[in-house]
Structure 1
């Protein structure tokens, strides 16, 4: 059953100059990415309805916008039938746990969220002729045999491993989106998101950036899985949200998913050393066995996004880590000073 977190009717849709405001629905709107997207859409003049089951999203992520008369939030799981009376112009599907500890905690529900949730949102888009965005993932490439990964690469995914509930769920969601587009003519936009970090990640998120920062701030050992020579590409959240907006506002839908991520590549050991430095921590770096199906390398080829969307990240890892360390320091301990990170 849906539960309205903020009982507030959206405005009548009339903007200051008499034009009707566009209405956007953000599934997963209280999450790490979803809350940032809601803020951006409100700043751009949209009315925004957020849906979230609050399994991993946090109510306090929405504190800055709860007083906005153009915003409303409903507690709802998109696996269940959607509320009937929600006319929208744009839909953003960000509703799925994205970190391994969270999506592996209930793998069946994770898969249902990707598949049944996508079906429900696609049907809503069909009823209202709405444009719809799908947050897919670089995990569809699995442990890639092609590097960097272009959108044309079909991937190397284990279909029955502990990560497959997420990887295969997202791959299935992509299939549904493109089938709905071909069958019903729906305007779809699909983004494959590479590792993203920044404000509003949770201390128990389980992804490498948040793990390292929290461990360093607490003076604990930084846990590196495997040798640490596996690589990742880290995109700051503000850059990613800009990519979402440009993809949705492109004049025509791309014929395939679009990679969104930062092509700068770092080893996990590089990241661990940077975090220790930025936090002035005395934490040691310790090694643990590599989890099953953990990819050895990950880097997006963003040639298409550069050409088609005129988009590429502008915030480097030094800048982004400094901001993220400051956020976690305030979240965990209040506002004690954090050393300014040197730009490498």
Structure 2
């Protein structure tokens, strides 16, 4: 039987958090959106502000949290290299102190708590595709470590709270996700390529463009979040959430140029240090335990995302040019690299 819950979403005004808030409100729940608006935006949740079951709390997760809720989704942390490397110490604090504060609150309330972890915990993987049992290949002192190791430490805290205090936890390892409401200048590959193509600027490819990624449309990912949080049986293990179809960065660039009708050319730049060469999730656990898999194919997802950025441009929204030094995220499109990685 349906029961209305009061749910806290940290990072609720961000790209993923705002879509999660939409989904929870649509299902009749009460939502507290907690955000410090460092990378989140009030515009992402503006359409919810007249909803009586929606509340915004301006707060930083590195400080103790005071709220009375039934469940907690912890999504607070910049996810783009451009943003999380701007203040790496604060990124570590957000991941570690933030996890402690969220877990302390969940323990006090005896609430189920969800951690938005990341495929970056696998580092530059030596196992492909990545399965949850793989411990990863992470450089603990590299430029990406503030995020990679911060998320790994957050997972440690979640599982220690589960073992020591019996806390009900859910941990999702999120693979590259794209869609409307992405920041146009955050350095992630899909938003980079689309904005550059719409402006007629060269598309910035880092390295030779043969590195691969697997991208999941935001609607599919949020559906995975909900399925994992609502799973009736205990799920005290990480779950990969992402699209197992794998594409090269060059394939993604060619598709974006084709779909936007752009005359942009390709511009190559040095590959950033510790940038993973391959990234593709094994989603066997998600299929078995959650009956979940992505449903939205790349072409459909890109069309929705392109429409969003075209609308922003038509309204005169600021769309800063992506500097050549902006860090990439990676790839997508036409021919899958592996025979079983077909277009979903």
Structures share a fold, TM > 0.5? yes
Determine which of 200, 212, 215 is the counterpart of 1:234: 215
Q: 2:145 aligns with which of 142, 146, 164?
A: 164
CA distance in 2, matches of 1:73, 1:231: 37
Is 1:24 aligned to 2:7, yes or no? yes
| 134-143 vs 37-46, which moves further | 37-46
1:261 aligns with 2:253: no
Matched, 1:49 2:9: no
3-state DSSP of counterpart to 2:257: helix
Look up the SS of the partner of 1:126 in the other structure: helix
Q: What is the rounded CA distance, in whole Å, between the counterparts of 1:281 and 1:221 in structure 2? A: 10
Counterparts of 2:233 and 2:147, CA distance in 1: 29
Number of the residue aligned with 1:6: none
1:332 is displaced (CA, Å) by: 1.8
Partner of 1:38: 21
- CA displacement, residues 15-36 of structure 1 (integer Å, 9 cap, x when unaligned): xx9x862110000000000000
For 2:271, the equivalent position in structure 1 comes to: 290
- Which residue among 210, 213, 218 is the counterpart of 2:191? 210
**Shift in Å, 1:205:** 1.5
Superposition deviation, residue 286 in structure 1: 1.1
**TM-score normalised by structure 1 residue count:** 0.91
- 2-structure distance, mates of 1:259, 1:21: 28
* Structure 1 SS opposite 2:78: coil
Q: Give the distance between the partners of 1:20 and 1:312, measured in 2 at CA.
A: 26
5+ residue gaps in structure 1?
1-16, 336-341
Q: What runs of 5+ residues in structure 2 fail to find an aligned partner? A: 317-333, 335-342
Matched, 1:75 2:66: no
Question: CA offset at residue 333 of structure 1?
Answer: 2.0
Matched residue of 1:64: which SS? Answer: helix
SS at match of 1:49: strand
The answer on 1:306 being equivalent to 2:287 is yes
Aligned pairs, how many?
320
Determine which of 151, 157, 177 is the counterpart of 1:196: 177
**Equivalence for 2:71:** 90
Corresponding residue number in structure 2 for 1:130:
111
Offset of residue 45 of structure 1:
1.3
Secondary structure of the residue aligned to 2:32 is strand
Quick one: distance in 2 between partners of 1:237 and 1:20?
Answer: 25
Q: 1:169-180 counterparts in 2 under 5 A?
A: 169-180=150-161
Q: Give the structure 2 partner of residue 62 of structure 1.
A: 45
Shift of 1:331: 1.1
Provide the C-alpha distance between the structure 2 equivalents of 1:332 and 1:290, rounded to a whole number of angstroms. Answer: 29
Normalized against structure 2, the TM-score is what? 0.91
Q: Is the 8 A contact 2:169 2:236 kept in 1?
A: no
1:113 paired with 2:94, answer: yes
Following superposition, which runs of at least 4 residues in structure 1 exceed 4 angstroms of deviation? none
Matched, 1:185 2:132: no
2:197 counterpart SS class: helix
Q: CA RMSD in A?
A: 1.7
1:245 maps to 2:226: yes
CA distance in 2, matches of 1:190, 1:133: 6
Looking at structure 2, the residues matched to 252 and 121 of structure 1 have their Cα atoms a distance apart, in angstroms, of 22
CA offsets per residue over residues 206-258 of structure 1, 9 Å max, x none?
A: 10000000000010000000010000000000000000000001112323100
